[in-house]
Amino acid sequence: MSATPIASGQDARNGALRLLHAVLIEKRMLTEAQSDLSMYGADAARAGRLAGLVLRHLSRIDALLRPHLKRAPALRTQAILRLAVAELMLDDAAPHGVVDSAVSLAGAVPKTAKQSGLVNAVLRKVAQDRAGWDALPSATLPPWLRKPIAKAYGRDRLEAIEAAHLAQVPLDLTMKAAMPEGLPGTDLPTGSRRIEGAQVTALPGFETGDWWVQDAAAATPVRTLGDISGLRVLDLCAAPGGKTMQIAAAGAHVTALDISEGRVRRLRDNLARTGLAADVIVADVMEWEPEAPFDVVVLDAPCSATGTIRRHPDLPHLRKPAEIETLTQLQYQMLDRALGFVASEGRLLYCTCSLLPVEGEFQVKAALKRHAGWNALPLDPTDLGLPEQAQSPHGLRLLPDLWAEQGGMDGFYISVLRRDG
C-alpha cells in the first residue's frame, strides 16, 4: 500500500493538538472544541479526523510509547507523540514526514523546544516497530463501562462493540419524502440512506431540504410508531430536531419542547431548511404543563450517550461513573412526567442512546411497576428491517456491532408504552 501524502500540513496538526488538549485536559466535548477552531475546510476536517484517531486508539498508542519514555513528557510533547503514532500506525503516512513534522511542532513552542530531540529519537524507534503495534490489543472502553456492558451482553458482544467503535463511521440520512436524484450511497433495510465519506453540504438535496443527517439507529424509534398522520405528538428533549422532523414529515401535528435556547436555534434552523412545521417551545419539561394531553409523547431522554461513542470518541474520556446515577434519576423523573402528558389509549415512546440497561430496559421495567394501566407494546425488529437479535425486554436493543459489515449503527434502547382506555 502506498503512503498517503501528508495533506494540510502543520495547520491541521496544530488544530488536532488543540482538540486533544480541549478533550483530555480541559474535559470539553470534541464538537464544542471544534467549533472554536479558527480553521475551515480540509484543515479543519483533517484536524478533527486526527484527533478522533488518537482518542479512539489512545490506550494502544500509549502502550506503544511507554517503553520508550523513562518519565512522562510535557503535556504538549505527549500530545505530539500520540498524534505522530496515530499518523504512523493508523493513517498510512510517510514516516520521515511524520517525524520531521512532529519535531517541528515541538520546536515551535518554548516549553517543548528542549524536548525536540526526545520526540525525534522516540518516533524514529516507534516508526520501525510495526510488529510491536500489531501485537498490542485493540483499544478498549474504560473499566467502569466494560463491566456493565459485559454483564448485560456477554464478553464476546462487548469485544464486538469495541471493535465497532474503531471502524470508519458512515453518514446516514433520513429522507423527508422522495430521495433526490443523484444522491450517492445505499439504502438500509430500516429506510435510511447510507453514504461513505461525503461533504454534507455538497450532497444533492441539502439546499432543498430533502433529507437530514441522522444515524440509522436514531431514526428507528419514530418508525416504531407506524402511521401517525393527523395525530398530536409531543417531542420532549427535541433539539436538534431529527425526530421532530421525522414526526412532521409523517404528517403529525408536532410540538417540540427543549430546555436549551441554543439547541432550539439549531432545531428551528433544521425545520427552516427542510420546510417542515412544528410548534417549538423552550421550557423545562419538569415545570411545563400542556393545554391538553397528546396522542403520542416521544421522550428521547438525557443519558450517558454511550451508544454514540463510535461517532464521539471523546465520550469515554469525559464521562464519569458518578454521572450515570444522576442521569438515571433524571430519566426516572422525566419518564413519570411524560406519562402524565399522554391521552387515554395514547402511546409513549421512550428511548435513550445508551449502551447501559440501567438507562433503558431497567427504566421501563420500573416505570411499568410504578404506573398501573400501562403496557409495553410488542415490537418485532424484523418488521423494521432489523435482525432478530435486536429484540429486548419491553422493546428493542440496538448495539454498535449490528450490521458490522455495513458500517454498524449507534447504540439505542427503544420501548413503546400504551395507556389503557
Tens digits of residue pLDDT in 241-273: 999 999 999 999 999 999 999 999 999 999 999
% helix / strand / coil in the chain, to the nearest 5? 50, 15, 35
Query: Which numeric CATH code is attached to 219-419?
Result: 3.40.50.150
Say what the pLDDT of residue 4 is.
Answer: 38
Interior/surface letters 219-234, b for 16+ CB within 10 angstroms, e for the rest: bbbbbbbeebeebbbb
Residue ranges of the chain that CATH labels 3.40.50.150: 219-419
Please tell me the predicted confidence (pLDDT) of residue 296. 98
pLDDT of residue 37: 87
Give pTM, 2 decimals: 0.92
**Residue 275 φ/ψ, nearest 5 degrees:** 70, 25
pLDDT of residue 331: 98
Give the pLDDT of residue 291. Answer: 95
pLDDT of residue 298: 98
Decide: helix, strand or coil at residue 340.
Answer: coil
What pLDDT score does 186 carry?
A: 96
Catalytic residue list = 353
What distance in Å separates the CA atoms of residue 86 and residue 80, rounded to the nearest whole number? 10
pLDDT at 3 (0 to 100): 39
9-135: CATH architecture: Orthogonal Bundle (1.10)
Q: What residues pair up with 255 in beta bridges, in sequence order?
A: 234, 279
Q: Give one word for 362, left, alpha or beta, with left for phi > 0 and alpha for psi -120 to 50.
A: alpha
Beta bridge partners of 208: none
Domain with CATH 1.10.940.10 in the chain: 9-135
Answer whether 138's CB lies under 8 Å from 93's CB. no
Provide the H-helix boundaries in 275-345.
Answer: 315-318, 321-339
Beta strands 342-352 and 412-419 are: antiparallel
417 in helix, strand or coil? strand
Interacting residues of 220 by C-beta distance below 8 A, sequence separation 6+: 190, 384, 386, 396, 398, 412, 414
Please give the C-alpha separations between residue 8 and each of 5, 44, 92, 127, in angstroms, as whole numbers: 9, 9, 15, 21
Note the pLDDT of residue 188.
Answer: 96
Give the three-state DSSP class for 394: coil
**Alpha helix ranges (H) inside 75-229:** 75-90, 95-107, 110-113, 116-127, 130-135, 143-153, 155-166, 216-223
80 contacts 102 by C-beta, under 8 angstroms:
yes
pLDDT at 5: 38
Identify the pLDDT of residue 42.
Answer: 85
Low-confidence ranges of the chain (pLDDT < 50): 1-8
